[in-house]
A and B are shown apart, each in its own frame.
Chain A
């Protein structure tokens, strides 16, 4: 059989990754496990040997200088890109060959670095779209306005307001999403991602464009989300106060490779990390 497009075989590697999990998660199955994950763009190896384990209710941070490949990792985890090598396990299930929709159904939800809301729709509708697979009824019952439609719509409405109340946004439900202030749009993206009932939430720079006060609020809310929904959160962030403040495990990426993993204290005192961010000291160079 001749295949026109040959899929690059994904290497299965016996679990080499030994992450540092918070104590309460050690006995549970990790929500995310990546094994020697990597991707090439043409000749450029954007990410390689990315091994990470995230515990069931862990808040983890992914940091690194600009262009280190952090967002590429997110795109690999959510199957926007198919990895050139290695595997991603979500809740212990191999995601090989899956697409974004299937990965989402397995329990991975994300927000975007550049906000991707449905700007022309209301805040509530944005959340309802997140609830698409959670509270569903058939297209036919929607067109015919069968009882299933009314029941589903009411359930979606209640659930949407319930979710919006995490960020005290229920009063904004009727507003156009695109007209919200920047910070509120970021929060709405988180709510929309939460609506898909994930077990792992990926936040791509959630505090970007927020003032210190908003950031502090966001920190409290991220912790609150974790406690309320019992989910794991992996976040990319440049705001070190936020990362060091709430993350239990931090992974530092540079030039597509993990250069350090550990608790916030470990990372802060790690000379390799300091070098990646600030460069070598003059005398040493």
Chain B
């Protein structure tokens, strides 16, 4: 009974994601008869990966750390534009080198890094607040980031990089062009990269949660005063969760940006933050697996509902409401619990036999 159990339940999540990836790959290659992916669904694969990463990383802030952040799209846009910037710069500065993979990795890394830095800068004032106030201020910061990016101009000239704020007249090839956003992006994002990013995010988040630091973060969420009384540095661990979450959102943003040939800061407005929050809430706050499922379903759903034409968003909203009601229904949840409880007991028994 008191034998030391290794934290192994995460492997179910990993296995499910890998399985889903393999099925998608099979469907893409047309190996499964009668199941062909539609064009629009193919186009959704990378956004699905991006939104999974966004949802999982936001769940780290909202579910695990317990801070309602409404500015997650801001970090995504920081990651997107810095990722695009470095990858486009490398493309123009070293045109002879054929380094797509390297550029992609550098872009993701740099996007994550810059978003992490933004997370630190924003976290310092924001994490002094709690609850609703924190939500409002993160919302404001998300908008501030978007408006700042609207005023930023970058161009590349030979191997040099020009930067200006508010002044669009720059020599050389424009990389980021203020309100017009980044144009002429060489698409680098692939579904495989998206899958690897999802796996990376899952490993980081799940390993963090199931470690000493993760327990400290959850302790602060559950009872701040008690956490302080046992010597947990509240500021440090709130910051840790916030910054890791921001950095992962930045990586997702970089991948998202490199999936399109042009992208504007308007893409990352408040609606996107709310959309990701909807994934998190619908999937269950603090439930990583739920976030993955919700992000996938809700990204695919609008495309699937295209046949309903004008009623598309209406049905989307109805689905959201029904799921919310169903997941909050005590009878239903107790039914599900009894079912999964049985399942767990059975699997434990089997485990004992083995």
Mark A residues whose CB is within 8 Å of B.
78, 80, 99-101, 104-105, 109-110, 112, 116-121, 125, 128-130, 132-133, 136-137, 139, 142-145, 149, 152-154, 156-158, 161, 170-171, 173-174, 192-193, 195-196
- Would you call B207 and A109 a contact (CB within 8 A)? no
- Would you call A139 and B211 a contact (CB within 8 A)? yes
- Would you call B225 and A116 a contact (CB within 8 A)? yes
- Would you call A132 and B230 a contact (CB within 8 A)? yes
- Would you call A109 and B230 a contact (CB within 8 A)? yes
Say which residue of B7, B213, B214, B223 sits within 8 Å of A118 (CB atoms): B223
CB nearest to A129 among chain B residues = B219
- Would you call B229 and A78 a contact (CB within 8 A)? yes
- Would you call B240 and A139 a contact (CB within 8 A)? yes
- Would you call B207 and A145 a contact (CB within 8 A)? yes
- Would you call A129 and B215 a contact (CB within 8 A)? yes
- Looking at the assembled complex, report how far the CB atom of B285 sits from the nearest CB atom of chain A, in whole angstroms: 12
Interface string of B22-52 (1 = CB under 8 A from A): 0000000000000000000000000000000
The answer, yes or no, to whether B233 is at the interface (CB within 8 Å) is: yes
Say which residue of A80, A120, A132, A145 sits within 8 Å of B212 (CB atoms): A132
How far apart are the CA atoms of A119 and B2 in the complex, in Å? 21
Please name all residues of chain A whose beta carbon is closer than 8 Å to the beta carbon of B231 when the two chains form the complex. 101, 104-105, 132-133, 196
CB nearest to A156 among chain B residues = B212
- Would you call A171 and B1 a contact (CB within 8 A)? yes
16 residue pairs A–B, Cβ–Cβ below 8 Å: A80-B225, A100-B225, A104-B231, A109-B229, A110-B229, A118-B219, A118-B223, A119-B222, A132-B212, A137-B212, A142-B207, A142-B211, A142-B212, A143-B211, A154-B4, A193-B230
- Give the residue among B208, B218, B219 with the most A Cβ atoms within 10 A: B219
- Give the residue among A101, A153, A161 with the most B Cβ atoms within 10 A: A101
How far apart are the CA atoms of A118 and B229 in the complex, in Å? 12
CB nearest to A189 among chain B residues = B226
Of residues 95 through 153 on chain B, the ones whose CB sits less than 8 Å from some CB of chain A are: none
- Would you call A101 and B233 a contact (CB within 8 A)? yes
Please name all residues of chain B whose beta carbon is closer than 8 Å to the beta carbon of A110 when the two chains form the complex. 229
- Looking at the assembled complex, report how far the CB atom of B146 sits from the nearest CB atom of chain A, in whole angstroms: 30
- Looking at the assembled complex, report how far the CB atom of B56 sits from the nearest CB atom of chain A, in whole angstroms: 14
Say which residue of A129, A152, A161 sits within 8 Å of B227 (CB atoms): A129
Please name all residues of chain B whose beta carbon is closer than 8 Å to the beta carbon of A128 when the two chains form the complex. 212, 215
CB nearest to A99 among chain B residues = B228
- Looking at the assembled complex, report how far the CB atom of B218 sits from the nearest CB atom of chain A, in whole angstroms: 7
CB nearest to A127 among chain B residues = B230
Q: Known: A100-B228, A105-B231. Contact between A120 and B211, CB under 8 A?
A: no
Q: Known: A116-B223, A142-B207, A154-B4. Contact between A100 and B229, CB under 8 A?
A: yes
Please name all residues of chain B whose beta carbon is closer than 8 Å to the beta carbon of A174 when the two chains form the complex. 1
- Would you call A120 and B222 a contact (CB within 8 A)? yes
How far apart are the CA atoms of A272 and B2 in the complex, in Å? 52
Q: Known: A132-B216, A142-B213, A145-B207. Contact between A171 and B2, CB under 8 A?
A: yes
How far apart are the CA atoms of A192 and B232 in the complex, in Å? 13
How far apart are the CA atoms of A196 and B229 in the complex, in Å? 9
How far apart are the CA atoms of A199 and B91 in the complex, in Å? 62
- Would you call A142 and B208 a contact (CB within 8 A)? yes
How far apart are the CA atoms of A120 and B215 in the complex, in Å? 11
How far apart are the CA atoms of A112 and B290 in the complex, in Å? 35
- Would you call A139 and B208 a contact (CB within 8 A)? yes
- Would you call A136 and B222 a contact (CB within 8 A)? no
The answer, yes or no, to whether B314 is at the interface (CB within 8 Å) is: no
The answer, yes or no, to whether B321 is at the interface (CB within 8 Å) is: no
The answer, yes or no, to whether B19 is at the interface (CB within 8 Å) is: no
Please name all residues of chain A whose beta carbon is closer than 8 Å to the beta carbon of B204 when the two chains form the complex. 143
Say which residue of B2, B4, B232 sits within 8 Å of A132 (CB atoms): B232
The 3 closest A-B pairs by CB, nearest first: A142-B211, A104-B231, A116-B226
How far apart are the CA atoms of A144 and B211 in the complex, in Å? 10
CB nearest to A126 among chain B residues = B219
Say which residue of B4, B215, B230 sits within 8 Å of A195 (CB atoms): B230
Other A-B pairs, 14, CB within 8 Å; known A117-B226, A132-B212: A104-B228, A112-B229, A117-B223, A118-B222, A121-B219, A121-B222, A128-B212, A129-B219, A143-B207, A149-B211, A156-B212, A171-B1, A193-B229, A193-B230
